[in-house]
Structure 1
Amino acid sequence: MSVQAGHGQDTNMDERIGSGLKQRTKQALQDEFLRKAVAFTTDKLKNGRLQAMDAFGDWEAWRDRGRAIREHTNSHLDYYLSQFADNVAGNGGHVYFCSGADDAVKTFMGIADRHKAKLVAKGKSMVSEEIHLNHHLEDRGIEAIETDLGEYILQLARETPSHLIIPAIHKNKQQIADLFTDASGQHFEPETKVLAEYARKKLRNYFLEADIGLTGCNFGVAESGSITLVSNEGNGRMVSTLPKVHVVVMGMERLVPTFEDLEVVLNLLARSATGQKLTTYTSILTGARHPEDLDGPEELHVIILDNGRSAQLGDPIFQEVLNCIRCAACLNVCPVYRHVGGHTYGSVYSGPIGAVLTPLLQQDMKEAGTLSYASSLCGACYEACPVKIPLHDMLVHLRHRKVKMKLTSLPERAAFKTFQTVFGSVTLYKLATKSGYYLQKPLVRGGMIKAGPAPLSGWTQSRFMPMMPKQSFRDKWAALQAELAAKKAAREEQR
């Protein structure tokens, strides 16, 4: 069996983020299974995090420490990148700084060409998704196999990840069994042990046969040049040790200064992501194989990607987005994500972090900037974030940026201009509230507005709107004051 390198949905997906957002949202809201599956799993992850926080003790102090580490690192990122690169090279590795996705893909292809690679075994890597590496490998005739179980399932389905840490959150056992049946030609029952056993045996050959093993990087340790990988399946260790060549693709912000700092962020990551004290496998890799080592790759290549990240450095509002440790805690508490899932966002990074990160990395407010409206601004993401990134504030600033750039629709700008004018005039405000009561009458049914013309229909599609009362609060207040004044005057007359 040959597995297609690409992850399905076309490579231009990110270019249609904004224009297709409403349609994808509508489809997701009509998918009852998707909504139940996402809600069930995110609730489980959220509750696990809350239990781990309580058991850990003094969680806020750890959050403050984690935030301080990430802020310090990104405020001195040039220094730590230089230190990290020097130490990787000192341990026999090779480092490449890439400004954009094309540069990173070209660098990887150069490594693949030198080794005449035909098969790449991949560990979980969101950055490789970001640069659409699988599609480029497929175009070059190089087979790329996802070895993370969730990613492997989605590769068979030709789909992209729907969650940062549980990519196949929207799939059930029957769907997975059908995918394995189609791929292998043998029938599978929807039983977890049976499906896992098939995947284990199938993927083991790829570990042994791969010319290149590719992984992401959860954290790079600057003081030693070490690569840290965390997983619950062990595929990261297989991919990074069995192939002769190990290539790491990492975002430039994925650094911590010291092992002492690494201890803090690993504690925060595991508890925030899944409620675990520590992930099942935590691998710290320093350099390529040494002569005295029994195993490991003969070559280590580290591709460090900018791709819009450096544009956030020094920004008083958005630099903090680089503090993210990719735990997905914000997705698990977001009321929008839990109803529509990750594919609705149309980008590699979904949920609140994706709604902020995607337009910033792509430097695209026209399309990707629309994601900032996929939020209730409730602030739950900030409360859950282990490094206290104020994502809700950033979403407001992105909306403001989109408005200032005049990228909102003409009817929307006209509506808010009218709103500004009416609310800026006492006379117009009173006239609007009084006339609104009579204008709404054709739409009212049983005291509620249940349907109406655009743009009101966008609201009433999924909720009802209370009718405006005949008497406003201001009028009621004035009448009450007049009534009290009359009673007071009557009492004084009786005296």
Structure 2
Amino acid sequence: MTAQDQTSFKARAGAALADTTLKLAIDRTTGTAERKRAAALAGFPEFEAARARGAAIKDHVIANLDHYLETFERNATAAGAKVHWAATAEEACDIVVRLCREADAKHVTRSKSMLGEEIHLPDALATAGIERVETDLAEHIIQLAGEHPSHIIWPAMHRTREQVAVLFNADHKPPPDAEDPASMVQSARRVLREKFLSADVGISGANFLVADTGATCTVTNEGNAELTTTPPRVHIVTAGIEKLVPTTAHAFALLRLLVRSATGGELTQYTTFHCGPKRPGDADGPEEMHIVLVDNGRSRMIKDEFREMLRCIRCGACMNHCVVYRQIGGHAYGGTYPGPMGAVLTPVLDGLKQSRDLPFACTMNGRCAEVCPVRIPLPTLLRAWRVRSWEEGLEKAPMRAGLGLWATLARRPGLYRLASAIAVRTLRVLGRSGWIRSLPLAGGWTEHRDLPAPAGGTFMERYKAERAKGDSR
């Protein structure tokens, strides 16, 4: 867990629910994303077939990961890049810091990369005394605010336009000419342009790693990745090993899914393939290109029930449609990745004991699986973490006792029907005007909402009554 996340999930979620400005910011962004995605898919009748192909591509790569890793390393090296291997987040950070020091870098630019956030690269660079400048506009905003991303596509989606204006007026010299979006974007461009052109090293992530060419692919809407990777003398890529695809054609097949699911477009403004450093005769490009391939628990996932999570192409659709995320935002989840995909990945990265609340922060309505462009069965994976939590004895004593009592009743139909009848009648007594405002042992529910009182008897009692009516007719 990151330094911001020492409080419990319940406390973070409670604070988020009380933040009306946060709710406004979330609604603005996720609502727009949901509508644009729906419109994009309405004009893309091949979507279901494309989803099936996307899932098949990712499953094929995962099943043959060793082959494609070796192929990628061989072709990337032939193109002039240097490939480095990191088993853990710490190893990955050590490699990047060493490369920056070898380049005598005092100042580096970085384009948006969730892998970089996952391995805590910003903290490692700061500890090494290397100035880091985030070049994505949203990342620039949260760097000024001293925060972590709250969404994997829109890192600053928890910030309103009015809050951004305050940050820019305090930091930008000169401040923006006005507080409208166009003026603030122009102000950020002025501030960042000098940083782009003076950086010693540029650090990027990769949306895809193309095995048969050794190329890396970045997808952005602002062009900041190209300015991060091209002017500096050294370009460093950090990428998870699951980002591999066999060929450029496979990358484009997944791009058709990624962009529509993430932003509702057909293509982003900038889709760039980097294949090695600058060659003789090239007009521009880095003199050195380094690619750091990061495992950080991914190999372990291949062997267990969370293997399908490695299909993820980081589009953010699951969180845009998640009823929980849209109430509490990303920071409440406490890890690098928020929303449903984060609830699956964070226990892998941080351990189930530290993050066991996340798999339970789900209504299991299945909306995330419905919109996932590569058909990841997220509710099934979340249930798998719940099973592990039980098997590892992480549930609190009252929960285990309560489930034990329920299991005892469920195995004895007569006793279960008796207990149900008593419970229904008790709840009807506690109800007022059809609602129960406070209920012992269910404070987590009635603290924020009323519980509907039972309308009649138990299910079996009402079933028998309906059958009796039918027989009498």
TM range, normalised to the smaller chain? over 0.9
Secondary structure, in 3 states, of the residue corresponding to 2:189? helix
Q: Which residue of 2 aligns with 1:492?
A: none
Where do 4+ consecutive residues of structure 1 move more than 6 Å? none
d(CA) in 2 for partners of 1:429, 1:403: 23
Letter in 2 for 1:153: I
Q: 1:229 is paired with a residue of what secondary structure?
A: strand
Partner Cα distance (1:483, 1:217) in 2: 66
Q: 1:346 maps to what in 2?
A: 334
1:380 aligns with 2:371: no
Q: For the structure 1 residues 11 and 60, does the alpha-carbon distance in structure 2 shift closer, same or farther, using more than 3 Å as the test? A: closer
TM-score scaled by length of structure 1: 0.92
Residues 167-226 of structure 1: per-residue CA shift (max 9 Å, x gap): 111111111110011113655432111100110010011111111100000001000000
Deviation at 1:425, TM superposition (A): 1.4
Q: Please report the TM-score for the alignment, with normalisation by the length of structure 2.
A: 0.96
- Aligned residues of 1:11 and 1:135 also touching (Cα < 8 A): no
**1:237 alignment partner AA:** E
- 2:18 matches 1:33: no
Contact 1:161 1:167 (C-alpha < 8 Å) held by counterparts: yes
Q: Does 1:394 align with 2:385?
A: no
Aligned: 1:462 with 2:451 = no
Which residue of the other structure, out of 475, 478, 487, is the alignment partner of 2:461? 475
| 1:105 alignment partner AA | C
In the alignment, residue 413 of structure 1 is paired with which amino acid?
Answer: R
Change (3 A) 1:281 1:403: same
Aligned partner of 1:411: which letter? P
Give the alignment partner of residue 275 of structure 2, picking from 264, 282, 286.
286
The offset of 1:144, in angstroms, is 0.5
Aligned residue number for residue 336 of structure 1: 324
8 Å CA contact 1:309, 1:361 repeated in 2: no
- What CA distance in whole angstroms lies between the structure 2 residues aligned with 1:346 and 1:222? 34
Give the distance between the partners of 1:325 and 1:258, measured in 2 at CA: 16
Q: Which amino acid aligns with 1:370?
A: D
The equivalent residue for 2:288 is 299
Match of residue 74 from structure 1: 62
Q: 1:471, 1:123 → 2: CA distance? A: 60
How do 1:126-165 residues align onto structure 2 when only pairs under 5 Å count? 126-165=114-153
Distance 1:437-1:348 versus aligned 2 partners, 3 A rule: same
Q: CA deviation at 1:39?
A: 2.1
CA spacing shift, 1:468–1:134, aligned 2, 3 Å: same
- Alpha-carbon contact 1:38-1:169 (below 8 Å) kept: yes
In the alignment, the residues of structure 2 paired with residue 13 and residue 62 of structure 1 have an alpha-carbon distance, to the nearest angstrom, of 39
Give the 3-state SS of the residue equivalent to 1:56 in structure 2. Answer: coil
Change (3 A) 1:84 1:425: same
* Contact 1:75–1:314, Cα closer than 8 Å, also in 2: no
Structure 1 residue matching 2:353: 3-state secondary structure: coil
How much has 1:361 moved relative to structure 2?
3.0
**Structure 1 residue ranges without an equivalent (≥5):** 1-9, 489-495
**Code of the aligned partner of 2:237:** V
Q: Which amino acid aligns with 1:22?
A: K
Contact 2:80 2:289 in 1 (8 A): yes
Greater CA deviation, 417-426 or 235-244? Answer: 417-426
Q: Which residue of 2 aligns with 1:3?
A: none
For 1:308 and 1:190, how far apart are their aligned partners in 2? Answer: 44
Counterparts of 1:258-297 in structure 2, within 5 Å, are 258-297=247-286
Cα distance in 2 between the residues matched to 1:205 and 1:223? 36
Q: CA deviation at 1:480?
A: 5.3
Which residue of structure 2 aligns with residue 493 of structure 1? none
Structure 1 residues 480, 338: CA separation in 2 closer, same or farther (over 3 Å shift)?
Answer: closer
Q: Could you report, residue by residue, the CA deviation over 1:357-385 in whole angstroms, capped at 9, with x for unpaired residues?
A: 111233x1112232111111111111111
Residue correspondence of structure 1 range 180-199 to structure 2 within 5 A: 180-184=168-172, 186-188=174-176, 189-199=178-188
SS at match of 1:161: coil
* Cα distance between partner residues in 2 of 1:468 and 1:192: 51
Change (3 A) 1:484 1:223: closer
| Change over 3 Å in CA distance of 1:236–1:436 after alignment to 2 | same
- The aligned residue for residue 417 of structure 2 is 430
Residues of 1 paired with 2:137 and 2:271: CA distance? 17
Q: Is the 8 A contact 2:150 2:157 kept in 1?
A: yes
| 1:479 positional shift | 4.6
2:172·2:191 contact (CA, 8 Å) conserved in 1?
Answer: no
1:95 corresponds in structure 2 to 83
The Cα of 1:58 is off from its aligned counterpart by 1.5
Query: What code does the residue aligned with 2:417 have?
Result: K
What corresponds to 2:244 in structure 1?
255
Give, in angstroms, the shift of residue 438 of structure 1.
5.0
1:435 CA drift (Å):
2.5
- Give the whole-Å Cα distance in 1 for the aligned partners of 2:467 and 2:79: 81
Instruction: Go from structure 1 to structure 2 and tell me whether the alpha carbon gap of 1:65 and 1:441 turns closer, same or farther (over 3 Å shift).
Output: closer
Task: Find out whether 1:50 has 2:38 as its counterpart.
Answer: yes
Q: Say if 2:112 is the partner of 1:124.
A: yes
Is the Cα–Cα contact under 8 Å of residues 434 and 470 in structure 1 kept in the other structure?
no
**Bigger radius of gyration, 1 or 2?**
1
| 1:12 alignment partner in structure 2 | 3
- Aligned CA-pair RMSD: 1.8
* Pick aligned residue for 2:203 from 202, 214, 218: 214
Match of residue 229 from structure 1: 218
Contact residue 288 and residue 297 of structure 1 kept, 8 A: yes
Where do 5+ consecutive residues of structure 2 fail to align? none
- Aligned counterparts of 1:393 and 1:112: Cα–Cα separation in 2: 42
How big is the shift at 1:56? 2.2
Aligned equivalent of 1:416, options 398, 403, 421: 403
Q: More deviation in 52-61 or 252-261?
A: 52-61
Contact 1:125-1:216 within 8 A present in 2 as well: yes
CA–CA distance in 2 between the matches of 1:163 and 1:200? 22
How far apart, CA to CA, are the structure 1 residues paired with 2:144 and 2:33? Answer: 25
Q: How far, CA to CA, are the matches of 1:114 and 1:472 in structure 2?
A: 73
What amino acid sits opposite 1:181 in the alignment?
N
Amino acid at match of 1:345: Y
Q: Distance in 1 between matches of 2:402 and 2:330?
A: 31
2:232 pairs with 1:246: no
1:264-303 CA distances to partner (integer Å, 9 max, x unpaired)? 0111111111111100001111000112111100000111
Give aligned pairs, total: 472
